[in-house]
């Protein structure tokens, strides 16, 4: 059976990561995603480093299962094509700076006048109003303003640290794909489309609140300054590498004590209760580090597993993709791309028993599907030729 979004048509005007990843999730799950790219090279993600045969790793990892058309949205004829595509679409997604889509004539109001049932999605960086709404945005800026860099540092008086992956972009993509699914579900019930707006900043603030804003939850009892509870981040050095150990429950602490051959720790008043272990977290984690450094990683994992202590090896990216658990999950897939060659990627993590995701095609060649999409929209060959002559559309090499 086709994926759960089979039959849904999405017009994707987005670039970089947050929008393209959101629409790729839906494309993997069956949606027909038409990636609209600008003349002159298209999505900037096509041109970043780590490349083969004209394709960047970033682009192939955020744009598979899509069709690409080149459409000049600064050209009145290009706008007319966009409007014709919108008439039969279900979703439009854009991540222009606030106000840009409206000035181009492709904003939510104009789009809804053409298709009342459209789900129109606007993704931005800081927000749609306010002092930062018009600022150019990249992931580190959102990490900085959201407080994530402070969380990563561990304490307000320590140097802030970036999370070394573009977490705001990718979280916003996941949030956007969920919001689109919810809006489509609501339309099934009500018959009405709607405008979905989300910002990277809002996504990060919401994300942090579930676990990192406890000191700011109870009104009137806010924490003035966050202080690190420990100075070890639960990655411990062993004799030959690193290990992560999570000692949460009483049985875990007892198991840890037995595993490292220090049974007297069970009777230590500082660590006897969950509260005591938390209050004395820094002392406890430093002690754990001292004890574990005399064992190899393999010795510790064997002993901890024997005492039911939660633990895992700390892997490099190369080690991760060959780890037995990752292999057992079949999360990493390989496929042949007609231009980029043999690819290794991650499948979608959600697996559907009746409507599985599928790999229909790799990331598209720039403009490869312009003629195909226009013909499906009802344009005759001579009309497409006229649009090309006017500079409104462009056809690239076919896949």
Exposed (0-12), middle (13-18) or buried (19+): which is 349, by Cβ within 10 Å? exposed
For residue 193, give the CATH number of its domain.
Answer: 3.40.50.10540
List the one residue out of 36, 106, 59, 19 whose CA is nearest residue 394: 36
List the one residue out of 59, 74, 9, 1 whose CA is nearest residue 353: 1
Report pLDDT for 1.
76
Q: 228: pLDDT confidence band, cut at 50, 70 and 90?
A: confident
Q: What is the DSSP letter of 180?
A: H
Q: Please determine, for residue 341, whether its predicted confidence score (pLDDT) is greater than 80.
A: yes
168 & 70 share domain: yes
107 & 200 share domain: yes
Q: Give me the mean pLDDT over the 176-187 stretch.
A: 98
Report pLDDT for 4.
97
204 & 248 share domain: no
164 & 51 share domain: yes
305 & 169 share domain: no
Rounded Cα gap, residues 219 and 201, in angstroms:
22
Q: Please determine, for residue 388, whether its predicted confidence score (pLDDT) is greater than 90.
A: yes
- Cβ neighbours of 261 (radius 10 Å): 10
- 180: in domain: yes
pTM of the predicted structure, to 2 decimals: 0.95
Residues whose CB is less than 8 angstroms from the CB of residue 358 and which lie 6 or more positions away in sequence, other chains included: 2, 3, 28, 30
Q: 233: pLDDT confidence band, cut at 50, 70 and 90?
A: confident
Please count the structural domains in the chain. 2
Rounded Cα gap, residues 230 and 280, in angstroms:
9
Q: Do 309 and 256 contact (CB within 8 A), yes or no? A: yes
Higher pLDDT, 227 or 138: 138
The string of pLDDT tens digits covering residues 101-135 is 999 999 999 999 999 999 999 999 999 999 999 99
The string of pLDDT tens digits covering residues 58-74 is 999 999 999 999 999 99
List the one residue out of 60, 65, 33, 30 whose CA is nearest residue 357: 30
Domain that holds residue 295: 242-313
Q: Do 162 and 190 contact (CB within 8 A), yes or no? A: no
For residue 271, give the CATH number of its domain.
Answer: 3.30.1540.10
Report pLDDT for 398.
83
Higher pLDDT, 201 or 224: 201
Q: Please determine, for residue 229, whether its predicted confidence score (pLDDT) is greater than 70.
A: no
Report pLDDT for 394.
98
Q: Give me the mean pLDDT over the 144-166 stretch.
A: 95
């Amino acid at each position: 059976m086709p994926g759960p979004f089979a039959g849904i048509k999405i017009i994707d005007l987005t670039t970089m990561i947050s929008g393209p990843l959101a629409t790729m999730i839906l494309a993997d799950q069956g949606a027909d995603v038409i990636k609209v790219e600008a003349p002159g090279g298209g999505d900037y993600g096509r041109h970043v480093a780590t490349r083969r045969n004209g394709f960047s790793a970033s682009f192939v990892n955020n744009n598979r299962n899509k069709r690409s058309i080149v459409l000049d949205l600064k050209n009145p004829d290009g706008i007319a094509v966009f409007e014709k595509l919108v008439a039969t679409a279900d979703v439009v997604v854009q991540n222009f700076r606030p106000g840009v889509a409206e000035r181009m004539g492709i904003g939510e109001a104009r789009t809804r006048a053409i298709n009342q049932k459209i789900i129109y999605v606007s993704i931005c960086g800081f927000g749609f109003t306010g002092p930062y709404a018009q600022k150019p945005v990249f992931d580190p800026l959102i990490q900085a303003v959201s407080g994530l860099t402070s969380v990563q540092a561990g304490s307000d008086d320590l140097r802030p640290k970036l999370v070394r992956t573009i977490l705001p972009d990718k979280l916003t993509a996941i949030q956007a794909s969920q919001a689109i699914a919810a809006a489509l579900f609501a339309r099934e019930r009500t018959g009405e489309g709607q405008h979905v707006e989300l910002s990277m900043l809002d996504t990060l603030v919401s994300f942090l609140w579930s676990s990192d804003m406890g000191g700011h939850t109870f009104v009137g009892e806010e924490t003035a300054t966050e202080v690190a509870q420990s100075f070890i981040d639960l990655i411990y050095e062993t004799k030959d590498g690193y290990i992560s150990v999570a000692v949460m429950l009483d049985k875990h602490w007892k198991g840890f004590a037995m595993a490292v051959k220090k049974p007297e720790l069970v009777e230590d008043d500082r660590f006897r209760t969950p509260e005591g272990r938390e209050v004395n977290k820094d002392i406890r984690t430093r002690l754990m580090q001292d004890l574990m450094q005399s064992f190899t990683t393999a010795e510790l994992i064997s002993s901890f597993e024997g005492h039911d202590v939660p633990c895992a090896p700390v892997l490099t990216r190369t080690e991760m993709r060959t780890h037995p658990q990752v292999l057992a999950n079949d999360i990493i897939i390989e496929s042949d791309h007609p231009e980029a060659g043999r690819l290794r990627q991650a499948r979608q993590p959600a697996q559907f028993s009746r409507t599985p995701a599928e790999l229909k095609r790799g990331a598209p060649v720039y403009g490869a599907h312009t003629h195909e999409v226009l013909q499906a929209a009802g344009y005759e060959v001579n009309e497409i030729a006229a649009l090309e002559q006017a500079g409104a559309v462009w056809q690239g090499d076919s896949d």
